[in-house]
Structure 1
């Protein structure tokens, strides 16, 4: 504890950077709170190094409380808006142009599966397709391949 109190501005900046790294890399900006706290700790440390704030634990606590609250008020809505911005565009992957011949009929009445890459995928289609038909994967979901007759 003595080491931290003797080097309070540097300790605040290091803890702030660690909080920012955790928020961005581990949590992917999902909590936002660590972002505000990390920026606050970094700002408080810089203000202490610049001589604007005294190098005391009381000053550190109050400045972090105030700076975190101000950052939360200013950045909450823009950050929430950024989190809600989701791209719904389909991405082509290794399933692109995957074709195979159906071993069983695909219909909405029974579950049909297909082994691919060591996984048993459920097959679905917008129309019934009979066994022996060559199909192409047109859409992917978690555990589900949507197929259509190949041209």
Structure 2
């Protein structure tokens, strides 16, 4: 315990960096609590190292309480917006060049199914396609393949 109290600023900065590494590397910024706490510990240790804050456990406790709360209030909304940002870009996958011949008619209603990779996919098309036509998968959704006639 003496080692920690004698080197309190460095200890706080190391614990803060460890908390930040856990938040970013392990949790992937899914919870912001360790982010705020890690930044608070690091800032408090830094301020103690420069002599701006006194080097005591009581100061460390109160400073971390205030700085963590301040960071949470200041950064919560921007970080939440960043986390909720969704990329609408279509991703090419192993469906990109999938073609097959229809066994029954396909419409926009999705009443026809097709077995692929052990899953029964609903088939939809913006225009009606008759059975026996070779089709190309153009878009994928959860459980749905959108197809067009192959040209």
TM bucket (normalised to shorter chain) is: 0.7 to 0.9
The aligned residue for residue 29 of structure 1 is: 29
Query: More displaced, 66-75 or 78-87?
Result: 78-87
DSSP-derived class of the 2:40 partner: helix
Distance 1:148 1:30, change over 3 A: same
The aligned residue for residue 125 of structure 1 is: 124
Distance 1:32 1:106, change over 3 A: same
DSSP-derived class of the 1:135 partner: strand
- Structure 1: tracts of 5 or more residues without a match: none
- Structure 2: tracts of 5 or more residues without a match: none
Deviations 1:5-64 (A, max 9, x none): 343222222221122122222332232222111110111111122222233221111110
The aligned residue for residue 38 of structure 1 is: 38
> Normalising to structure 1: TM-score of the pair?
0.80
The aligned residue for residue 86 of structure 1 is: 86
Q: How does 1:1-151 map to 2 (within 5 A)?
A: 1-106=1-106, 108=109, 110=111, 112-115=113-116, 118-126=117-125, 127-151=127-151
Instruction: Give 1:119 shift.
Output: 3.8
CA–CA separation in structure 1 for the residues paired with 2:128 and 2:40: 59
CA–CA separation in structure 2 for the residues paired with 1:105 and 1:122: 14
CA–CA separation in structure 1 for the residues paired with 2:102 and 2:4: 67
CA-atom RMSD, angstroms?
2.4
Q: In 2, are the aligned partners of 1:104 and 1:130 still within 8 Å (CA)? A: yes
CA–CA separation in structure 2 for the residues paired with 1:3 and 1:124: 67
